[in-house]
Structure 1
């Protein structure tokens, strides 16, 4: 799976890592539901860090479609709320 983090680039992440990422995704949803911008920023940062640690960067000269696009760590509650409303599964599938 190729995940794009806005402002940071693309990472090739093994499907086996998605379950761990979904734990953080659930915390992101809780932060949005609770209206907690500080928790949202912390969880988006944690999600990005996990993706970077688990994935391999896609080279800049490689043209690959992203399977998933995530907001930057400084995304607002409203921005992430809008993304969550478009999805039935949170920011990540599964």
Structure 2
């Protein structure tokens, strides 16, 4: 799966990380639902950290479509809501 973090670039994330990313994505969604800004920031940071740690950066000169687009770490609640799909930020 190719995941783009806005302002950072793309990461190739192995399928084995999919379940963990979906758990973290669900935590972001739960924080959005409860309007808990502190939990939202922590959950978003954890999701981004998992992509960075588990993924391999895609070279800047390689053009591939992203399967998921994640906001930058300091994104607001409204900015993240604008990126949401029916199944959250991460497909699946």
Structure 2 matches for 1:22-61, cutoff 5 A? 22-61=22-61
Greater mean deviation of Cα atoms: 60-69 or 18-27: 60-69
Secondary structure at 2:3's aligned position in 1?
Answer: strand
1:17 matched to which residue of 2?
17
Contact kept in structure 2, 1:83 and 1:91, CA below 8 Å: yes
The CA distance in 1 between the partners of 2:29 and 2:37, in whole Å, is: 11
Stretches of 4+ aligned residues off by more than 6 angstroms: none
Q: Which runs of 5+ in 1 are unaligned?
A: none
Q: Give me the CA root mean square deviation.
A: 1.2
1:3 matched to which residue of 2?
3
Q: Which runs of 5+ in 2 are unaligned?
A: none
The CA distance in 2 between the partners of 1:56 and 1:67, in whole Å, is: 15
Count residues in correspondence.
92
TM-score (norm 2): 0.91
TM-score (norm 1): 0.89
